Amino acid sequence: LPKEMAIKYQSLHHIMVASSLTNKLAHEINPDFMMGTMLALSGIYPKTCHPEDVMGAMQFRRRALIFADVMMRGYYPSYAKQIFKDYQINIQMEAEDEAILKAYPSDYLAFSYYRTTAFDHTSEVTTTTGGQQASSNPYLKETPWGWPIDGIGFRYVINELWDRYQKPLFCVENGMGNIDVLENDTVNDDYRIDYLREHIREMKKAVEEDG
């Protein structure tokens, strides 16, 4: 729906300018303050090595990363033009908006990671965060909710974001939903402990092995 997408992206533009002005004010109050932004950035893979899956996964991912690109780098990336063209969007900017975004980017990126999904060019795309895209991954176990469990994907996303921004990263949401059963006033959730252990192990590899 072009009209709804235009309203969404226009509103997000105002939010990002406001975020930059908040960064400016915070650094005026205390230059040591670290100001960041938080986004949902679970991972996306191509379903196969079919070129349309690979290219589609990249384009799908850009629709999630565009907001981090603006807030972390300070400008709209070149690929934004194609996104706006696809959605028939013409962002209305004040004369000083671009200068504000450039001068006061975020100091760190906070993000959520729960799972990865696979981009299938034959399936309908339903979201841009990499969370739900109507294509499961046969190589991964899933929770009872149908969410893939992918610790290595966590390592992949950490590397992806670090290589892209070279600024501090904070995973502020991670975990698993499950159908927990209360037994003798206790939830024996070894499966959740295993999930967290796997993700922490892969996070450590991202830091210590991948640099």
Can you tell me the distance from the alpha carbon of 122 to that of 52, in angstroms, rounded to the nearest whole number? 9
pLDDT confidence band for 14 (50 / 70 / 90)? very high
E strand map for 12-168: 36-40, 43-46, 108-112, 116-119
Mean pLDDT along residues 25-44: 96
Strands 182-183 and 108-112: unpaired
Average pLDDT over residues 7-12: 95
* Residue 54 CB coordination number (10 Å): 16
Among 87, 82, 64, 115, smallest CA distance to 10 is for: 87
- What integer pLDDT is reported at residue 133 of this predicted model? 59
Task: Name the pTM for this structure.
Answer: 0.92
CB-based contact 54:46 (threshold 8 Å): yes
What's the chain's average pLDDT?
A: 93
The tokens for 49 are 């090595």
Is 76:70 a contact under the CB 8 Å cutoff?
Answer: yes
Task: Compute the average pLDDT of residues 14-20.
Answer: 98
DSSP state for residue 139 in the 8-state scheme: T
- Cβ atoms of 81 and 143 within 8 Å: the answer is no
Query: Among positive and negative, which fits the CA dihedral 26, 27, 31, 32?
Result: positive
- SS3 label, residue 172: strand
How far CA 200 is from CA of 5, 62, 150, 154, 162, in Å, comes to: 37, 26, 12, 9, 17
